[in-house]
Structures are given as structure tokens and as C-alpha cells.
Amino acid sequence: MPFAHITGTGSAVPERILDNAGLEQIVDTSDEWITRRTGIKERRIAMVDKNETTAALGALAARRAMQMAGVSADQIDTIITGTVSADRIFPSAACMIQKEIEAFNAAAYDISAGCSGFMYALDIANNNIKAGMSKTCLVIGAERLTTLVNWKDRGTCVLLGDGAGAAILQNRAEPGGILSTHIKSDGRYWDLLYSDSGNDPPPELLKGLASVPFHLKMEGNRLFKQAVSSMAGIAETALVQNGLTREDIQLVIPHQANLRIIQAVAEKLKIPMDRFFTNVHKYGNTSSASIPLAMDEANRSSRINHGDIVLLVSFGAGLTWGATLLKWAATNPG
């Protein structure tokens, strides 16, 4: 059975930085509150006049991953994008990215799994490669969450940011690469974090028509507790399934929602914080983009090295959560 190796990573973020001082101009908040409760100092905001769409950010991240892997567009047979903020309800972000990168031999589709979108996409790509159905998969997490934000809700607008990350997965005979993927959901809690797709306001003549303003809504306190227990639990499952212990892990790349959640997961897993990669201070919560964005930064800055055991762990709306355990093979930053 072939193994799925990550042979290239890439990422892309919008140019515009909105720091906490900038947010103080928009809502009643402070740098002190945001930093203490979340660890976030700034986030990137996609701008229309710069054409920083979800598809454009995803395509840029994809091209960088392809370049690192030395993979041409026509080699890619599958494009899977984790996203909750595609530029259009349909078609998929993946199809729009396919056009940008000219990968016309691929099947392209999106996965909606909240902030776990990239982990769900990795799970599918890994299984496709292991089953011999795919040889070269492009897996992307791309988001423009700021289009869903209610800029009057200080409880949520300070948390989110835009960006994209990508990975090329290729089939290899040599053992390694993705050791296992694990995904879980619990729809009983879907209403802790959601966004409607709306058509507000309804015309008078069509009173009674389904109509909802489409802003993201969140119950932060309850999510916090679910996030910590779910991420720690699935990380333990991944370790046990592979006969590994916490000491075997060189780096954990968690979903970058909030520094306090990451610290609580570290404490629960009894893995020191210096083995957790964090960049949430620079980008905030970029949902599906957060893990591939962090993974690319860790890879390019040599925080991950050949042979390292790396744990990716996510949590998001749905509720959804997931873990992927990897044995890293050297990639060529080019």
C-alpha cells in the first residue's frame, strides 16, 4: 500500500495588517483585553481592490507548495479545499483555484468542516492515495472569514483573520509521511458556532420567506471547553493507535484559535509549550487555513526537520475535530 508524503507546503496572507490598536477604532475593546484573553496581536484582512479573494489566496499558497514539491499543474489529480468562506456559495473554491493554477487534470471540490476543514481534506487525500485512487493531491485551507464577521460584535470580530495554506501530497513506496488521520464530529453542538447564508431583508410582498442576516455567531465560553477536551482526546487517540508516546513528538501544530486554548491543550497532554508551534499572534484565527499556514511557516523556518514526528490537531464549528500524525520527510524550500 503506498504512503502519502507531504512533498511541498505553501501559504499566502493578505497585505493589510489590522492590529489591536486598529480594532480599538472599530469596537469597544483594548489591546490589553485581546492579548490577555487570546494572545492575538494582529490579523490580516483581505481587500477587494487587491483581488485578495479566497480563491486567489488559495491559488497563491498552492503555487508555492507546487514549487517546493517540484510538481507541475498537470500532475495534480485531486484538489480538495477546506473552507467555510468560499467566494461564492457555488461553485467551490477548489474549482476556482483549479482555474487559477491551470490544473485541468484534477477533480476539485470543497470540504465544509469549520476550522477542521484542512484536517478533513487531509484525511480524504491520505485515504485516496493509500487506496491507489490518487497519486498527487493538492490540499488547501483558504479563508476570508472577515466577510462573515459582524464588525459590531466585539466578542467575535477581534478573533478572526484571512489567509491560506496548502500542501502537496504524493504517493511514495517508502514508509512515512502520514502515519494516521483521525476525524470526529458532534452535531449536537452545531449552534455554538455558526453563520447563516442570508437574503435579508425580505421584500414586503414575500413576507414569510426564509430570511436571516448572515453573520457569524459564537458561544465562546462553551466552545473553549469543548475545544480543549476534544483536541487533547483525539491527540491521545492518534498516539495510542501508532504505539507512540508524547515524548516521541517533536512538534505539535494546533489549530490557531486562541493561545489560551493551545496552552490548555498542552497542559492536558503534558507536552511543553516549546514543542507547540504558534503564530496566532500574527494572524488570529484563520479557520481552515490556520494549520497549513502554521505548517508552512514551521517548515520554511526549519522548525520541522527530516524524520520528525509531527502532530496536527484541530477543532472547529460543527463541532468537528481531528488529528494527523506525520513522519516528516525533507522538503525542498527551493
Q: Annotated active-site positions, please?
A: 115, 255, 285
Give the distance from CA 45 to its chain's centroid. 16
317 touching ligand ACO, by CB under 6 A? yes
100 or 219: CB nearest ligand ACO: 219
Query: Amino acid letter at 189?
Result: Y
**Which residue shows C-alpha cell 458561544?**
219
CA atoms of 250 and 89, how far apart (whole Å): 39
Spatial strand order of the sheet with 251-254 comes to 177-185, 320-327, 309-316, 251-254
Task: Tell me how far, at minimum, the Cβ of 48 lies from ligand ACO, in Å.
Answer: 24
Site map (CB under 6 A) of ligand ACO, residues 46-85, x = contact: ----------------------------------------
86-104 CB burial, b ≥16 within 10 A, e <16: bbeeebbbbbbbbebbebe
- CA distances to 184, 194, 223, 276 from 234, rounded to whole Å, are 8, 23, 16, 16
Query: Taking the complex as a whole, how short is the minimal distance between the CB of residue 86 and ligand ACO, in angstroms?
Result: 16
Near ligand ACO in 29-48, by CB under 6 A: 29, 33-34, 37-38
CB of 248 to ligand ACO, least distance (A): 27
Cβ proximity to ligand ACO: between 4 and 216 the closer is 216
Closest CB to ligand ACO among 5 and 255? Answer: 255
Question: Residue type at 158?
Answer: V
Residue number of the CB closest to ligand ACO reads 220
Running DSSP on this structure, what letter comes out for residue 302?
T
Task: Tell me how far apart the terminal alpha carbons of the chain are, to the nearest angstrom.
Answer: 30
Nearer to ligand ACO, 13 or 101 (CB): 13
- How many C-beta neighbours within 10 Å does residue 319 have? 23
Contact 35, 20 (CB under 8 A): yes
273: enclosing H helix or E strand = none
Q: Which three cell numbers stand for residue 39?
A: 494572545
Q: What is the DSSP letter of 90?
A: S
Query: Which stretch in 175-183, 203-211, 257-265, 323-331 sits in contact with ligand ACO by CB under 6 A?
Result: 257-265
Q: Which of 155, 175, 198, 213 binds ligand ACO (CB under 6 A)?
A: 155
At 104, the amino acid letter reads F
The residue among 160 and 238 lying less far from ligand ACO, judged by its C-beta, is 160
Among 40, 65, 115, 142, binds ligand ACO (CB under 6 A): 115
Residue 151, amino acid:
W
Beta carbon of residue 219, minimum distance to ligand ACO (angstroms, whole number): 8
Is 262 one of the binding residues for ligand ACO (CB under 6 A)?
A: no
Q: Which is nearer to ligand ACO, 159 or 293 (CB)?
A: 159
Binding mask 292-311 for ligand ACO (x = CB under 6 A): --------------------
Within 192-251, the residues that bind ligand ACO by CB under 6 A are: 193, 218, 220-221, 223-224, 227
Distance CA 273, CA 264 (A): 10
* Residue 50, CA atoms < 13 Å, CB-side half-sphere: 11
Residues engaged in binding ligand ACO (CB under 6 A): 29, 33-34, 37-38, 114-115, 154-155, 158-159, 193, 218, 220-221, 223-224, 227, 257-258, 261, 285, 315-317
